[in-house]
Structures are given as C-alpha cells and as structure tokens.
Amino acid sequence: MPMFEGMNRLFAYALQSERGANLVEYGLLVILIAIVALAAVQLAGSEVSAQYSEIASGLVAAGT
C-alpha cells in the first residue's frame, strides 16, 4: 500500500537521522504534556463539579 510505504520511510528517516531523533523526542514531549493536561482537567473537573453541587444545595436550602 502506497500510504504505508510513505509512513515507513518517514519513520525510518526519523529513527536514523539526528533531526528525526529530535522530532521523535518532541513528539514524546507533546504526548506527555497531553496526558498531564488531560489528568489535570479530569481532576479539576471533579473538584469543580463537587463545588457547584455544594453551591446548588446551599441555594436550594436558602430558597426554602
């Protein structure tokens, strides 16, 4: 398949040249940053949700 041949050549170049090694390192950094960002959003999301629930409960109690 022609599409995979191009990808194979790209990966071979990336692994053989210093420039390609830098590209792989930057790619790994981007993946790591994305994982950390997703984890932070998940953690903050649950904290924010809990705080909004607490506020909503307080407003309902104050309204009755």
If pLDDT is split at 50, 70 and 90, which confidence band does 2 have?
Answer: low
What is the rounded CA–CA span in Å between residue 3 and residue 17? Answer: 22
Average pLDDT over the chain, rounded to an integer: 81
| In the chain, % of residues over pLDDT 70 | 80
Q: Does residue 6 surpass a pLDDT of 80?
A: no
Q: What is the 3-state secondary structure (H, E, C) of 26-53?
A: HHHHHHHHHHHHHHHHHHHHHHHHHHHH
Q: Does residue 59 surpass a pLDDT of 80?
A: yes
Q: Which among 10, 35, 5, 37 has a CA at the least distance from the CA of 24?
A: 10
Q: What is the pTM of this model?
A: 0.49
